[in-house]
Structure 1
Amino acid sequence: MTILDWHSSERPREKLLAQGAQSLSDAELLAIFLRVGVKGLSAVDLAQNLLDHFGSLHTLLNAEKAAFCQAKGLGDAKFVQLQAVLEMSRRHFESGLQKGDAMQAPNLVARFLEHQIGHQARETFGVLLLDQQHHLIHYQNLFTGTLNQASVYPREVLKIALQYDAAAVILAHNHPSGDPTPSQADIQLTAQLSQALQLIDIRTLDHLILGDKGRWSSLAELGKMP
């Protein structure tokens, strides 16, 4: 049985149009991206097999080219198509932050950061550089460490902030473990950087920590900013 044999309410494309993208499972969303299945497998069945193979949608989307293209039903064309989709998504969120107050849209900031550092296998520290209205000027990854710790040098944070004439910053890093709960070391680092930036009249608005499966935490929302 192919997808065309399914009831229209169960077909991924028709379901999306009727109920919205949020109503679809990971396999159904991936099936729309794949468009067609392979011999003996519908697009949804193939999508589920791929999710089982990679372990999660997140891992599949961030797979290296060699691993991605070797999987059944994928290849160079799909890899190129996926990279274009991911880049459009990143630019979409970046554009929103350039036009609006980043502090009024923490979900948008988190989704933007997911594309920047959420997929990294090692702990990566970055900074959003903002103007007086908290619009995004520039984003920069600054440090990459081991799985558990990144060495962050205040002078480099100050240097990039001055280079872009930032009025404020939002700090960010990922937890490869998947748990976005801030550690005591995260809180201490935030205080250290905030103090250094304050000396040159640059405000530290927040420190976001990215986990897995779309999870994130905000030190500002948790009341842990200095």
Structure 2
Amino acid sequence: MDRTALVTGGASGLGAASAERLRQDGLSVLTLDLSADADLQADVSDPAAVAAAVADAVGRLGRLDVLVNSAGVVGPNKPLWEVEDDEWARTFSVNVLGTFHLCRAVVPGMVEQGWGRIVNLASIAGKEGNPNLSAYSASKAAVIGLTKSLGKELATTGVLVNAIAPAVIETPMNATNTPEVLAYMTSLVPMRRMGRAEEVAELVGWLASDRVTFSTGAVYDISGGRATY
């Protein structure tokens, strides 16, 4: 059977690399992004837009076997006590609510067909925290919690849900960080370099495949040695 996939944030960065990797594995892939370069345009923080986009994707592909939640924002880069309410809320609306909206929209169909793979892009920041990125760190911790919970809920359905926690990766999103922040985050990586999007995409490809059969609710580090647990 030819598998199908929907990749959010698929117009650039980790999403684009993941979409390309899945295509190399023979999947029919649609990308979802705010960018006009994506196959589908939608704001993942808007539940109605997400529901319509998923319905469109199913209409085009016939079914959805794989969901990769890669859409995300860095959010405010400042001490927590200087973060404005709207900055905090926007970070969570994309990183957490976006993941929730997509999972909620695709899970019933995956359960009905008895097979599915959901890969959520979290971050090492969600496990260890990055100073001056409290909203981002907290939102990615929430993605990890969501993944663990949903993985357990679906454990006997044939639908597996896992997360990836990258350290700093060379992407357009990280390019919005200051040079000082990037230098600090890179200094924490024992390999002393940023990761590459295609390296993360290799892990996405495995987690989206038939090759993973006994892993759900897990968090896979890809951090050049930074992860401590």
> TM-score by structure 1 length?
0.31
Larger radius of gyration: 1
Q: Which has the higher contact order (CA 8 A, sep 6+)?
A: 2
Q: Could you say which structure has the higher helix fraction?
A: 1
